[in-house]
Amino acid sequence: MTSDSPALQVYPIGQLIGVRAVVDQFDVRVGAALHSLTSAEFGVWAMAHGPADHQPRPWTPDALAAQAEAVGLPDCVQRLDRLQEQGLVALAAPGTDSARDLARRVRMVPLVLGLGNSAAAPDAYAVGLPGRPLAVLSAAAYDLFEWAHMETSLWRACEGAATTAARVGITDTLATDPDALLTSLLEDLHRLLTPNAVHLDTWAVN
C-alpha cells in the first residue's frame, strides 16, 4: 500500500436488538442470526460505527483502537478480529475491490426518515426525525438512502441508481458510475452509521 492508497476502514454489520443487563449480553442481529456479545465485544462493535467526536475522517482499525484505548477498553485488536470472523464487522477501502466485495454482500437499511430538501437548500437532503435532522446528503446519496434496501445488495443498488441517472439524462459520473457512487457513499458512510441513521445487513435468511 502506498501513501496515496485508500485507507482500509471498519464498517459494522448488524443491528442492536436488545440488552440483557443481568447476564451482560448485547444482542445484535445479522440477517436471521442473533449474536450475543459481551459488553467489551459490544463496545468495539459500537465504536466501529464511527468516531465519538463525529469529526469526519477515515475510520481505520488504528483509529478505532486509539479510541478504545482512550476509554480504557482492552484487547481491541483481538476483539475486532473476532467480530470480523463472526461477520459483525468488515474491512474495506473505498475505491478498491474490497469495497465492491463488501457492497455485494450487504444491504444498507434506513433506520430514520428521509426529510428531503428545502427551497433554501435544494441540493441538500436531510435524514433523521421530524425536527431533528441527523445528516445532510447529496441527491445521489439520498437516493441510495431511500431505495438501496429494496435491492439484494448495496452493489446492485448502486448499479440501479447509476442506470436510472443515465436514463434521465444526468451526465455527472459521480451519479452514473456505480463504482463512483459506492466510493462516495463508503467514504462518508460513518456519518450515517454513527447516529444510527442506517445499518448494514445481509440479504440471506439462514
pLDDT tens, position by position, 9-23? 999 999 999 887 666
Q: What is the pLDDT of residues 26-58, one digit of tens each?
A: 999 999 899 999 999 999 999 999 999 999 999
Burial 177-204 (b: 16+ CB within 10 A, else e): bbbbbbbbbbbebbbbbbbebbbbbbee
Count of beta carbons in the 10 Å neighbourhood of residue 56 = 12
Residue 30 phi, psi dihedral angles, 5° rounding: -130, 115
What is the per-residue pLDDT for 205?
Answer: 43
CA-to-CA distance for 104 and 202, rounded, in angstroms? 9
Percent of the chain with pLDDT over 70: 96
Q: What is the pLDDT of residues 168-195, one digit of tens each?
A: 998 888 889 999 999 999 999 999 999 9
Q: What is the 3-state secondary structure (H, E, C) of 45-68?
A: HHHCCCCCCCCCCCCCHHHHHHHH
Strands of the chain, DSSP E: 9-12, 15-20, 25-30, 33-37, 89-92, 107-110, 113-116, 125-129, 132-137, 198-201
CA-to-CA distance for 94 and 85, rounded, in angstroms? 21
CA-to-CA distance for 206 and 203, rounded, in angstroms? 9
Residue 135 phi, psi dihedral angles, 5° rounding: -160, 155
* Confidence band for 5, pLDDT divided at 50, 70 and 90: confident
Q: What is the pTM of this model?
A: 0.92
CB 105 within 8 A of CB 201: no
